[in-house]
Amino acid sequence: MKSILQHIKTSEKRNLAVLVDPDKFNLEKTSQFIDKVNNSIATHIFIGGSIVDENATETLISVIKPLTGLPIVLFPGDVIQVSEQADAILFLSLVSGRNPEYLIGQQVKSVSKLRNSNLEIIPTGYVLVDGKKETSTQKVTNTEPLTKLQEIVDTAKASELLGMQLIYLEAGSGAKQAVSSEIINAVKIEIKIPLIVGGGIRSKLAIEKAFNAGANVVVIGTAFEEDESFFEEIKR
The residue at minimum Cβ distance from ligand 1GP is 198
Closest separation between CB of residue 154 and ligand 1GP, Å? 21
Q: Annotate 49-93 with DSSP letters as a single string.
A: -SS--TTHHHHHHHHHGGG--S-EEE--SSGGG--TTSSEEEEEE
94 or 193, CB closer to ligand 1GP?
94
2 or 139, CB closer to ligand 1GP?
139
Closest separation between CB of residue 79 and ligand 1GP, Å? 17
Closest separation between CB of residue 116 and ligand 1GP, Å? 28
| CA distances, 12 to each of 15, 16, 90, 194, 208 (Å) | 9, 13, 21, 12, 15
Helix (H) or strand (E) holding 188: helix 181-190
Amino acid at 22: P
Closest separation between CB of residue 199 and ligand 1GP, Å? 4
Helix (H) or strand (E) holding 24: none
174 or 185, CB closer to ligand 1GP?
174
> Can you give the binding site for ligand 1GP, defined by CB under 6 A?
19, 170, 173-175, 198-201, 219-223
5 or 175, CB closer to ligand 1GP?
175
Q: How many Cβ atoms are within 10 Å of 47's Cβ, its own excluded? A: 27
